[in-house]
Chains A and B, each alone.
Chain A
């Protein structure tokens, strides 16, 4: 089509303005805030406030300690599940419905429900006691375990549906060919499907990790936000919205974003080193 360039540009103008004003500008503004004080003078103090205080710096470690296991467990569970579901299974619609449920309902409702369901007198503990697995109720809320469980309940279905999207996009003929050539199930998974699946798994891992790393409501409602589960988001929120110090708040948010970026880059470079050419996947 021989369209003039400036007319094509008009189609994109609304979203370019949108991106510039609502996404790029706030980012630059946050960057600026993080390096200035309230008088607008350039300073490193905001970062020093964070890094000099052991109580604040510990949030980085705390967040990793929560986000990494939660992400790993979600992904490692999701891989066999989605692999099993790759050609479609019986009752798939119903299963998918229950999987999408916690994702759609969001972290707040799930956390609120878990408080009573997994609490000391909740159904879960009553049940486990009744069948004799435990004598004393398990402590699953208001601690580290509660936050990790809450994240898994939210992230496992998310990871599963994402991985399912990728694995069901791999050309089934490859698998058939391998089968005809005499490969068994484990061999097919290891040598045919998995290498083609790695880009999808890397992507799912990155997104899940980033989501888990910025956990907020789950860490507050199901954990101990003033101690063992004081994650970076809580620290950011505390500085920006409770102390109304957007300078320090932005600085911590920048650190958080940087860590997320580094983790994604590490995952992506690992993927590239492990499987060159793995991205040649047949799309659904």
Chain B
């Protein structure tokens, strides 16, 4: 019995190591290539240089790219919270007839892949003239993020003792005052978790941004895709330089996020 466990353990760690080594290899190649010169086979590049970064920054108008990315990410998170907090509160506190229906409607945008509903959405945004604008990109990205924020927030609010709210009411606070002065501060940990996770998700959201953005409203990940798609146009090292910028931003957010949440919280999980 003891020996059997050991064998499965060894197998487990070996297989996991193979997976991790490949991931590191994929990322390592990108990073090394972005600072390397004359890398024709061989384990490492011949020379090291930072010239690809300046090439990429000039090629892409990097400040503009960063500005759009962060403007989109921050707006999406803020608006999603504004829409999501009241709903999460309602879901945590009340039972009503159509609760099941509302919940499943909220789950749908997270379950259906963006490539499926993105085309009609893009058609609609083109029709009302919001496509290719930053506002259009923000609107599109809200679709999977609002339900995501609600699902994260609801259990946090459920944990807050309803007696605290009752006490505030008895002491004469109005509904709105209770919400603002009692509920919001008490649910700050949940709001924080929801924000950081929605930031991580929005930075990496490719499909929706890709479908509705124009040249001036691209986020980094879309710019990276176009670079990789038109691979012959610029040196591959410059593409990898942009990839590294994207990688660093995402990694920073991920590392911050993982201080507060467990990785299983970051993938979708449906409670039956």
Contacts and interface: CB of A to CB of B under 8 A. Distances in A.
Interface of A: 1, 3, 5, 7-8, 10-16, 18-19, 22-27, 29-31, 33, 80-81, 84, 93, 95-118, 121-124, 126, 153, 156, 158, 161-162, 164-166, 168, 185, 199, 203, 207, 210-211, 213-214, 216-217, 220-221, 233, 236-237, 240-241, 246, 249-250, 253, 256-257, 260, 279, 281, 283
Most chain A beta-carbon neighbours within 10 Å: one of B26, B142, B246, B268 = B26
Contacts of B1: 185
**Secondary structure type dominating chain B contacts:** helix
A116 B22 CA distance: 12
B119 A12 contact: no
Given A8-B90, A109-B243, A30 B225 contact: no
Contacts of A253: 115-120
Given A18-B142, A250-B123, A203 B206 contact: no
Contacts of A118: 26
Interface of B: 1, 4, 8-9, 12, 15-16, 19-20, 22-23, 25-30, 33, 40-41, 43, 82-84, 86-87, 89-90, 93-94, 96, 102, 105-106, 108-109, 111-124, 126, 139, 142-143, 146, 150, 162, 175, 200, 204-207, 210-211, 221, 224-225, 228-229, 236, 239-240, 243, 246-247, 250, 254, 258, 262-264, 266-272
B90 A29 contact: no
Contact of A165 (B23, B89, B204, B264): B264
A132 B16 CA distance: 22
Given A33-B123, A236-B115, A14 B83 contact: yes
Given A14-B83, A165-B264, A246-B120, 19 more contacts: A11-B86, A11-B90, A18-B142, A18-B146, A22-B143, A84-B12, A97-B263, A100-B266, A108-B228, A114-B26, A117-B25, A121-B41, A123-B28, A203-B270, A214-B113, A237-B211, A240-B122, A246-B119, A246-B126
A100 B228 contact: no
Given A18-B142, A112-B243, A256 B116 contact: yes
